């Protein structure tokens, strides 16, 4: 089954970009996923092909017009009827690995990329559009956010990642950050690989990794830890805290 991605943007030339190389690029060549670009400007209704207008109520910047967006979405839905429509916006629900998993298990996704001040608010309810943010940062456009979303989905598609198990222990898959990794050389700049990882004792290594994963999540991401443990976060005894210089 092919995962169909449709991207609505004013800058289709930004794609496939990073999605055209490495794992994602190969998977696209193999037909694991497909990409259709829709130029939002093609759905403008005036002779100047205007896609934006000044914000109601005044203020800086320009807002993407709801009628133009609706026409572009309606067109995209015809080509990708079963896929959810997701708008990239810092006002959206933060993207999670759990949502990425759901999307990757589905027929695909229609992604709407904003520009300027963003979208006319009426598009979301009016066309059943899900609002998603990729973090508490402001990008100049939704395209890099769309690439993030698609990359995260594509790597989960069957056959894309070499070893199927390499996804299972990854950060966020069990609500925790992954344990830290090391590889040769054994000693670098006076720093060594933790002894246990060279012991060959797989049970001991598993225990160490689980503990590191918990310690790091607790100190670096108390929000994740709180959700994971279902408890209020206490000051972490034994947790490795980053030293502030
Ligand atoms: N005025 C808006 C920001 C607009 S940034 C606000 O303050 O909320 C322009 C476009 O970049 C947005 O429409 C959106 O598509 C994209 N964008 C910016 N930051 C993003 C984020 N954190 N997540 C997803 N999309 C983002």
Are 32 and 125 found together in one domain? yes
In a domain? residue 29: yes
Domain assignment of residue 196, given as a range: 187-233
The pTM score is: 0.93
Name the pLDDT band for 2 (thresholds 50, 70, 90).
very high
Are 74 and 25 found together in one domain? yes
Q: What is the pLDDT of residues 120-157, one digit of tens each?
A: 999 999 999 999 999 999 999 999 999 999 999 999 99
Work out the angle at residue 92's Cα, subtended by the Cα atoms of residues 72 and 77, and round it to the nearest 5 degrees: 25
Are 69 and 139 found together in one domain? yes
CB 108 within 8 A of CB 54: no
Are 66 and 136 found together in one domain? yes
- Please provide residue 96's backbone torsions phi and psi, each rounded to the nearest 5 degrees: -125, 160
**Span from the CA of 138 to the centroid of ligand 1 (angstroms):** 5
Are 221 and 116 found together in one domain? no
- Last-in-domain residue among 154, 170, 200: 154
In a domain? residue 245: no
Are 132 and 200 found together in one domain? no
Go through 88-99 and write b for each residue having 16 or more CB atoms within 10 A of its CB, e for each that does not.
bbbebeebebeb
Residue 230 is predicted with a pLDDT of 87
Can you read off the two tokens belonging to residue 153? 């989905």
Residue 245 is predicted with a pLDDT of 45
**Span from the CA of 127 to the centroid of ligand 1 (angstroms):** 19
Are 17 and 138 found together in one domain? yes
Ligand 1 proximity of 91 Cβ (cutoff 6 Å): yes
In a domain? residue 31: yes
The protein residue whose alpha carbon is closest to atom 10 in ligand 1 is 141
Longest dimension (CA), the chain: 71
Name the pLDDT band for 244 (thresholds 50, 70, 90).
very low
Find, among 120, 67, 97, the residue nearest to 221 by Cα: 97
Are 211 and 145 found together in one domain? no
Are 54 and 112 found together in one domain? yes
Pocket test for ligand 1, best of 57, 142, 152 (most atoms within 8 A of CB): 142
Go through 222-233 and write b for each residue having 16 or more CB atoms within 10 A of its CB, e for each that does not.
eebbeeeeeeee
Are 136 and 26 found together in one domain? yes
Are 51 and 131 found together in one domain? yes
Residue 85 confidence (pLDDT) above 60:
yes
Are 131 and 38 found together in one domain? yes
- Last-in-domain residue among 132, 154, 176: 154
Ligand 1 proximity of 133 Cβ (cutoff 6 Å): yes
* Total tally of structural domains belonging to the chain: 2
In a domain? residue 48: yes
Q: What is the mean pLDDT of the chain?
A: 94
In a domain? residue 244: no
Could you tell me the CATH number of the domain that includes residue 100?
Answer: 3.40.1280.10
Name the pLDDT band for 169 (thresholds 50, 70, 90).
confident
- Beta-strand ranges (E) seen in the chain are 3-9, 33-39, 52-53, 63-64, 85-94, 108-113, 130-133, 187-188, 191-192
Lowest mean pLDDT among 57-61, 155-159, 230-234: 230-234
Whole-number Å distance between alpha carbons of 35 and 30 = 13
Other Cβ atoms less than 10 A from the Cβ of 192: the count is 12
| Beta strand pairing call for 52-53 and 63-64 | antiparallel
């Amino acid at each position: 089954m092919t995962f169909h991605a449709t991207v609505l943007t004013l800058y289709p030339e930004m794609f496939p970009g990073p999605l055209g190389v490495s794992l994602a690029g190969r998977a696209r060549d193999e037909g694991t996923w497909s990409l259709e670009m829709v130029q939002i400007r093609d759905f403008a209704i005036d002779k100047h092909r205007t896609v934006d207008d000044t914000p109601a109520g005044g203020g800086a910047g320009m807002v993407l017009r709801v009628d133009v967006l609706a026409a572009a979405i309606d067109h995209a839905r015809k080509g990708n009827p079963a896929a959810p429509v997701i708008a990239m916006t810092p006002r959206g629900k933060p993207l999670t690995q759990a949502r990425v998993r759901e999307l990757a298990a589905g027929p695909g996704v229609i992604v709407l990329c904003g520009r300027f001040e963003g979208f006319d608010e009426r598009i979301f309810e009016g066309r059943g559009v899900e609002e998603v943010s990729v973090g508490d940062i402001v990008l100049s456009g939704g395209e890099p956010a769309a690439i993030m979303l698609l990359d995260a989905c594509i790597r989960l598609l069957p056959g894309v990642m070499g070893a199927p198990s390499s996804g299972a222990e990854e950060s966020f898959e069990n609500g925790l950050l992954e344990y830290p990794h090391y590889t040769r050389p054994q000693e670098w700049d006076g720093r060594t690989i933790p002894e246990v990882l060279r012991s060959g004792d797989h049970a001991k290594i598993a225990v160490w990794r689980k503990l590191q994963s918990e310690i790091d999540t607790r100190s670096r991401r108390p929000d994740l830890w709180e959700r994971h443990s279902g408890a209020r976060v206490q000051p972490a005894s034994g947790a490795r805290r980053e030293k502030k210089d």
